[in-house]
Amino acid sequence: MSSTPASDSPCPVVRSLAVFGDAWSMLILRDANLGLTRFEQFRRSLGIAPTLLTRRLAALTDEGLLERRRYSERPPRDEYLPTEAGRDVLPVLFLIGAWGRRHRGGGPLTRFVDAQTGTEIVPLAIDATTGAPIGTRDIHVAAAR
C-alpha cells in the first residue's frame, strides 16, 4: 500500500490490517502455521523476492506475530516461529480460504482435514454468543468504548 490505515483507529479490522494487511504477510503466516520456519523455506514456498521477505519477517517479528530464534551460530542463521498472536491468525486464513473455495473454486484445490476424524475442514464464522453464522442476521454498529 502507498499509505497505511492508521493503527489507532477504533475499528478492530483496521488495527489488524495495520499489522498483517498485505498478502505476503498473510502467506508468511500461513506457511509459519504450517510448520515452515526458515528463510529459504519461506522464499521457495512463496516465490517472494528476498528483500521483500526480509522486510516482512522483520515486521512480523517486531509486531510479535513471529519469534526469531537463532539455530546456527556459524554461519549465523535465524528461524521464525509463530507466537500465540501469530497462531491466532489461523482462523482468519481459514475463512479467507473458504471464500476462495466458494468463489474461485475451479481446478485442484488444497484440502485440509481434521487429524482426528479425517473429515474435511469446513470453515464457518459464527457469533459465539448466539451461535448464528455471521452474515445471516442483522448486525448494528455500536459506539466505541
Give the footprint of its own copies on residues 41-80 (CB under 8 A). Answer: 46, 48-49, 52, 64
With respect to its own copies, which residue has the nearer C-beta, 72 or 116?
A: 116
Contacts of residue 73, Cβ cutoff 8 Å, sequence gap at least 6:
none
The only residue of 40, 44, 77, 130 in contact with its own copies, by rule CB under 8 A: 130
How far, in Å, CA of 107 to CA of 11, rounded? 36
CA distances from 126 to 132, 133, 134 (A): 5, 4, 5
E strand or H helix at 13, and its extent?
Answer: helix 12-20
Measured between its terminal Cα atoms, the distance across the chain in Å is 29
With respect to its own copies, which residue has the nearer C-beta, 69 or 100?
A: 100
Stretch that binds its own copies, among 36-44, 67-75, 98-106 (CB under 8 A): 98-106
User: Which residues, numbered 1-30, are part of the site for its own copies (CB under 8 A)?
Assistant: 1-5, 7-8, 10-19, 21-24, 26-27, 30
With respect to its own copies, which residue has the nearer C-beta, 75 or 107?
A: 107
- Binding of residue 81 to its own copies (CB under 8 A): no
With respect to its own copies, which residue has the nearer C-beta, 77 or 127?
A: 127
The only residue of 72, 74, 75, 103 in contact with its own copies, by rule CB under 8 A: 103
**Gyration radius of the chain's alpha carbons:** 18
Comparing CA positions, the residue from 102, 120, 99 lying closest to residue 111 is: 120
- Report how many residues bind its own copies under the rule CB under 8 A: 86
How far, in Å, CA of 130 to CA of 23, rounded? 32
